[in-house]
Homo-oligomer: A and B are copies of this chain.
């Protein structure tokens, strides 16, 4: 299906992901539609619950658009939750007041794994693809829209633990004690994620990102065997050609700077980075194979304006005058951050990169 979407006015984000020159470094921010914005909190209150916000396309569209009205961001990202896929697999996602996500049912045994089925993305996750199409129309070509999913390993952590966890005792014990069952589970999730991202692309997503929030909790050996392998499976199987263009795939394994070269070998178009590696060093390590997205510590937004300008400038200078950088934080923006500080950060990235590129 081809939707009559408006042509793209600002393509810096897609150009940077394709390692083409841009006049300034494009910026988007993880959780840019989030609790630090009073207008988000108002919509969230009106929705009644976080899940209602995620599952109502009109509300998801509304909050997705909010940061774009305030800030000169170069991309929009679908407002959703990383746990939509296990919820669609029947685990019963819910949010207890003041706590993180939880599942009514957990996956602990081979029988649990064998009973799992691929979700029917067209029906069970229709609310997400409807939101994607609605947002894409609402954007009117202003900036590109990013779709996303949690990674197989990260989703498996939540499915096995039944929610967040400090140490992932049950999830890690499965890797050690029954690696065959773990591989079956991860393969199933990887197939579901591939279907899910493909449906988001069909619905209008112009780039897609996989968040591997808990990759860094694993040893290198387990990261490669149980997380990276399934990121690679997604990269190999996701149909990325759409309407004659390649839809870029961004992989982000937090805390996994140890495996950048291996991640670049997956065939992904770009890698997310946190602040435990210098951008310039990461660029030297992966060369021209992938674009890089990141990477300053979101905690800098608690510091002074001078510190924010200094850190953003340092990041831009570290990457240098090369194509292939999308600026972002190294993790989501915190709820306590004052919005004007994010504005300063974005403006600084734009102006400092123009200096570096000689495009002032």
Which A positions have Cβ atoms within 8 angstroms of B?
Answer: 167-170, 172-173, 176-177, 216, 219-221, 255, 257-258, 275-278, 296-300, 302-304, 306-307, 310-311, 314, 334, 336
* CA gap between A306 and B257 in the complex, in Å: 30
- Complex partner residue of A307 from B177, B278, B314, B334, CB under 8 angstroms: B177
Minimal Cβ-Cβ distance residue in B for A299: B172
Are B277 and A168 within 8 A (Cβ)? Answer: no
Are B299 and A169 within 8 A (Cβ)? Answer: yes
A interface, over-half SS: helix
Are A221 and B278 within 8 A (Cβ)? Answer: yes
Q: Find chain B residues with CB under 8 A from A304 CB.
A: 173, 176-177
Return A281 CB to nearest CB of chain B, in Å: 8
Are B172 and A220 within 8 A (Cβ)? Answer: no
- Complex partner residue of A275 from B169, B219, B334, CB under 8 angstroms: B219
Are A219 and B276 within 8 A (Cβ)? Answer: yes
Are A302 and B172 within 8 A (Cβ)? Answer: yes
Are B176 and A307 within 8 A (Cβ)? Answer: yes
Minimal Cβ-Cβ distance residue in B for A257: B258
- Complex partner residue of A216 from B167, B220, B276, CB under 8 angstroms: B276
- Complex partner residue of A167 from B172, B314, B334, CB under 8 angstroms: B334
Q: Find chain B residues with CB under 8 A from A311 CB.
A: 176
Q: Find chain B residues with CB under 8 A from A277 CB.
A: 220, 258
Return A280 CB to nearest CB of chain B, in Å: 11
Are A172 and B297 within 8 A (Cβ)? Answer: yes
- The 6 residue pairs across chains A and B that have the minimum distance between CB atoms: A176-B307, A176-B303, A173-B303, A219-B275, A169-B302, A172-B299
Q: Find chain B residues with CB under 8 A from A310 CB.
A: 176
* CA gap between A314 and B220 in the complex, in Å: 13
Minimal Cβ-Cβ distance residue in B for A168: B299
**Given A177-B307, A304-B177, A299 contacting B167 (CB threshold 8 A):** yes
Minimal Cβ-Cβ distance residue in B for A167: B299
**Given A176-B311, A304-B176, A220 contacting B278 (CB threshold 8 A):** yes
Are B276 and A220 within 8 A (Cβ)? Answer: yes
Return A267 CB to nearest CB of chain B, in Å: 24
Q: Find chain B residues with CB under 8 A from A255 CB.
A: 255, 276
Return A177 CB to nearest CB of chain B, in Å: 5
